[in-house]
Every structure is written in C-alpha cells, then in structure tokens.
C-alpha cells in the first residue's frame, strides 16, 4: 500500500476547465465482457485508475491478450485459466463481474468470493440465485464459488433488490442463450446501459424498458467483438460540480453527459448554485453568492440521487446556512467520513441511516483519513474549503476512482499536492 498523502490549502475562486475521465464503473464490466468472445474488442476512453490496472492483471492472468495505447484497450484471445486469483479479487471487488461471462462462454468457472468493504457488505446472492435458475450448479468452498452447467436455460427472473453488478452479471450470463429471457427489477444506471450497447454489438438482442425496469434478452451462440467508448464518469463530474460551488468558484466541466447528472444538478441549484448547461457534454458551475442553502437528500438507485455523491454533498452542506439531512438508503455504514469532517469542525449527528448536518461558519484544516473512495473526494472538497492546511491520508482509496485528481485541480488554481512519504 503506498503511503502517499495529499497536502491541501484553502483554495477559493478557482477558475478554468476540468475534463472528466471515463467511468470506472462502466469500463470494468466492459472489460469483463471481453471473456464472451475470442474476437478483438476495443474499449476507448478508459480511465487510468488502480481498479483498471487490477482488471487488466486479472484478465491477463486468465489468458487474455491486452494491449493498451493511452486510454484505449485492445483485448482479444481465449481464456485459458477459468479461475480468478484470490489476491487480485481482494484488491478489487468488481472482479466478480467475470462470473457471468465465464458461465455464458464456458459453462464453468471458479471465482473467488468477494469480501465486503468499509461501507458495508455487498452480497452477490442475486447473481447466484439467477445462475441457479438457469441450471448452474454452485458450490462454495474455502472462499471460492465453483460454477458448472451442462446446459443453460432461459429464465424469467425478478431481482429481489435492484443491483447494478447483479444486473450486469446476469445480462452476460444470458448472452449465449438463444431463447428469450426476461429480467425484472433491473438496474438502469448509465453504466449498465453502456454494457448493453456492447452486448448488442456482439450480437445479443436486448431491449430495456427503463420505466418498468424490465429487460428482454435473446442471446447468440457465437458472439462477435465490439468497439465502444466508455461513458463519462458522472460521479467525477458531480464531484467537480460540488467542488466548484464549495470553493465559490466558476469552473467549466467538459466531457460530461448532462443527461446523467439531473439529480446532482437539481440539488446544486437548490443549494444556490448556478449551473449553466453549455452543450450536451459541458456545463459551467458557479456560486450565485457565498451562501449555501441547506438540503434534504435521500440516496436511491438511478435516476435518483447517487449514493456515490453523498460524501461530497455532506462536505458542501457542512457550511450551509441551516440544518440539512442526508438519508443513506443504499449502503449501511457509509457515514464514516462524518467523523473525519468533525475533525475539521463540522457539526454532524448520525441517527441510524440519517446524517443531520448543522452548517458551521467555516471548516478548519486538519489531518484526516480516507475511509472509502467517495469519502476521499468529500475530504478533498473539505480541504479546499477549510481555513489553513489539511492532510488527507489513505489516498489509495482516491486512486481507485479518480484519475490524477490533484493534477487536474492544480491546473485551475487549487493548492493541492501529492506528497510521497
């Protein structure tokens, strides 16, 4: 684990352009889906992140040939090893996404059981429940899931809860079954739709009724390669938008998909921000004045307010004029950043799954510790708002989801630098 930390000083009235990278949570399932074919697959706009490096390592270990040219990945060839290495899985939970493609293509696989993480357990029971319905024999032993099937059957399956990785995995599982399957209560996040576009290119007939959360799928025995662009990272975009408001700045944010940002934009406007949509892929965000209005936010599945944005909004609301509330409906134990913000002078009380945030006049710099990926982003925002200097430790979390964030922010005038201890 690297021991780098971020040194941040109060930075207000930043000005310039921030360019958003490709979405990690879209790139990872696309990379896993290359297992479905031996033909060449091209994935463009791939972010330069730790989780991407881990997925490249995992797929290479399984036998895939991977060439990287800047932000483009070229992946081809068959799988020779149908077992995922436990050490890689422990570093990256999203490696469970190889399970669906392995079942579809090879009708077998041995996948290391993913653990929980600091924001709570993320069970894969829905993935396994659907696989069993398809006729897959599942055996769990010594931390591994052994999967085997002689034939895969079409299903009419309803997810008990909306799950993004569950939807992605099961769509891949069904991609080689030629009869029609129906999935109900599916996730409709933009990252899921990005995967659906790739599967369509491969020859899978998929129709998503987003309003009713129903997917119909007709697979193909032989799947082709694909050439696709990873969608812009809506969470990085949202992070930059909050940061602009929090630092009383005027920042143009490019390489976004404005249609993916509606709940974030709506809440920023309620908080008192100016959000000017310049085009379908750029926005200008600024503060109307230095006053931030309190908000009442509840996280929910897309198109609702994303759980991955609540830490950033908590930092912003810690200096709002009044009391805000944030209800976390997706993950348990996702308020660990509250105690770190408290070290900077924030006034936050947690009751069950609700955080009550009473705005203070200003935050003070402190040494704080990242507890998860999005908490790290919230602390970066807090550090830029706070009087004096702040040190943010455990930033390996940040590197999992933000592509050189300190370099991007330095370019618009932020006093932030990475220190290699």
Q: What's residue 85's pLDDT?
A: 83
Q: Provide the token pair at 300.
A: 């929910």
CATH number at residue 181: 3.65.10.10
- Do 324 and 372 fall into the same domain? yes
- Do 172 and 257 fall into the same domain? no
- Do 239 and 213 fall into the same domain? no
The answer to whether residue 195 scores a pLDDT higher than 90 is yes
- Do 16 and 35 fall into the same domain? no
- Do 129 and 62 fall into the same domain? yes
Q: What's residue 301's pLDDT?
A: 96
- Do 236 and 304 fall into the same domain? yes
The answer to whether residue 334 scores a pLDDT higher than 90 is no
The answer to whether 416 and 18 have CB atoms below 8 angstroms apart is no
Q: Using one digit for the tens of pLDDT, what is the confidence trace for 105-125? A: 999 999 887 754 443 445 789
Distance of alpha carbon 269 from alpha carbon 238, whole angstroms: 13
- Do 51 and 28 fall into the same domain? yes
- Of 360 and 90, which is predicted with more confidence? 360
- Do 258 and 298 fall into the same domain? yes
CA dist 372 → 20, 43, 376, 391, 399 (Å): 20, 27, 6, 16, 11
- Do 326 and 184 fall into the same domain? no
How big is the CA angle at 219 (ends 227 and 41), to the nearest 5 degrees? 20
Confidence of residue 140 (pLDDT cuts 50, 70, 90): confident
- Do 320 and 213 fall into the same domain? no
Task: Mark which of 180, 210, 229 sits at the end of a domain.
Answer: 229
Q: What's residue 88's pLDDT?
A: 80
- Do 140 and 279 fall into the same domain? no
Q: 305: which residues sit within 8 A by CB, 6+ positions away?
A: 263, 264, 267, 297, 298, 299
Confidence of residue 325 (pLDDT cuts 50, 70, 90): very high
* Overall number of domains in the chain: 2
What is the rounded average pLDDT of the residues 75-84? Answer: 94
Concerning whether 117 is annotated as a catalytic residue, the answer is: yes
DSSP string, 370-413: --SHHHHHHHHHHHHHSBSEEEEE-THHHHTT-SSHHHHHHTTT
Q: What's residue 1's pLDDT?
A: 46
Task: Mark which of 169, 198, 229 sits at the end of a domain.
Answer: 229
HSE at residue 360, side-chain half, CA atoms within 13 A, is 18
Least trusted range by pLDDT, from 107-116, 340-349, 351-360? 107-116
What is the rounded average pLDDT of the residues 357-377? Answer: 95
- Do 38 and 146 fall into the same domain? yes
Q: Using one digit for the tens of pLDDT, what is the confidence trace for 170-182? A: 999 999 999 999 9
Q: Using one digit for the tens of pLDDT, what is the confidence trace for 203-224? A: 999 999 999 999 999 999 999 9
The answer to whether 416 and 10 have CB atoms below 8 angstroms apart is no
CA dist 207 → 105, 182, 330, 382 (Å): 21, 10, 26, 42
**Domain that includes residue 379, residue range:** 5-21+232-419
Q: Read off the pTM.
A: 0.95
- Closest Cα to residue 63, out of 51, 75, 74, 49? 75
What is the rounded average pLDDT of the residues 335-359? Answer: 96
Query: 41, 117, 172, 347: which is the annotated catalytic residue?
Result: 117
Task: Mark which of 206, 229, 252 sits at the end of a domain.
Answer: 229
Q: What's residue 210's pLDDT?
A: 96
């Amino acid at each position: 684990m690297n021991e780098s930390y971020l040194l941040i000083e109060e930075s207000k009235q930043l000005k310039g352009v921030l360019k958003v990278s490709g979405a990690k949570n879209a790139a990872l399932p696309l990379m896993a889906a290359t297992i479905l074919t031996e033909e060449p697959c091209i994935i463009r706009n791939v972010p330069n992140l730790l989780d991407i490096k881990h997925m490249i390592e995992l797929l290479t270990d399984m036998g895939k040939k991977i060439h990287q040219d800047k932000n483009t990945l070229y992946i081809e060839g068959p799988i020779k090893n149908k077992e995922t290495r436990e050490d890689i899985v422990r570093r990256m939970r999203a490696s469970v996404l190889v399970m669906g493609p392995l079942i579809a293509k090879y009708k077998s696989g041995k996948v290391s059981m993913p653990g929980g993480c600091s924001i709570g357990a993320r069970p894969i029971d829905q993935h396994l429940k659907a696989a069993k319905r398809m006729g897959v024999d599942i055996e769990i032993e010594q931390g591994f899931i052994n999967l085997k099937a002689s034939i895969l059957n079409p299903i009419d399956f309803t997810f008990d809860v909306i799950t993004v990785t569950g939807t992605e995995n099961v769509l891949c599982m069904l991609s080689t079954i030629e009869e029609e399957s129906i999935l109900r209560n599916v996730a409709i996040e933009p990252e899921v739709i990005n995967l659906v576009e790739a599967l369509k290119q491969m020859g899978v007939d998929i129709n998503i009724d987003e309003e009713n959360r129903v997917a119909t799928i007709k697979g193909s025995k032989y799947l082709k390669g694909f050439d696709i662009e990873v969608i812009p990272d809506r969470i990085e975009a949202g992070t930059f938008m909050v940061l602009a408001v929090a630092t009383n700045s005027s920042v143009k944010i490019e390489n976004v998909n404005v249609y993916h940002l509606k709940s974030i934009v709506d809440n920023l406007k309620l908080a008192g921000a100016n959000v000017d949509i310049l085009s379908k892929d750029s926005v200008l965000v600024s503060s109307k004045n230095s006053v931030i209005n309190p908000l009442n936010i509840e996280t929910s599945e897309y198109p609702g307010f994303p759980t991955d944005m609540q830490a950033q909004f908590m930092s912003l609301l810690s200096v709002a004029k009044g009391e805000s509330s944030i209800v976390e409906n997706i993950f348990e134990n996702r308020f660990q950043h509250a105690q770190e913000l408290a070290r900077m002078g924030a006034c936050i009380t947690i009751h069950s799954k609700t955080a009550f945030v009473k705005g203070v006049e200003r935050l003070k710099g402190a040494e704080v510790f990242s507890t998860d990926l999005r908490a790290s982003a919230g602390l970066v925002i807090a550090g830029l708002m706070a009087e004096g200097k702040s040190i943010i430790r455990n930033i390996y979390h940040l590197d999992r989801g933000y592509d050189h964030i300190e370099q991007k922010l330095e370019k618009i005038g932020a006093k932030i630098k990475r220190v290699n201890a």
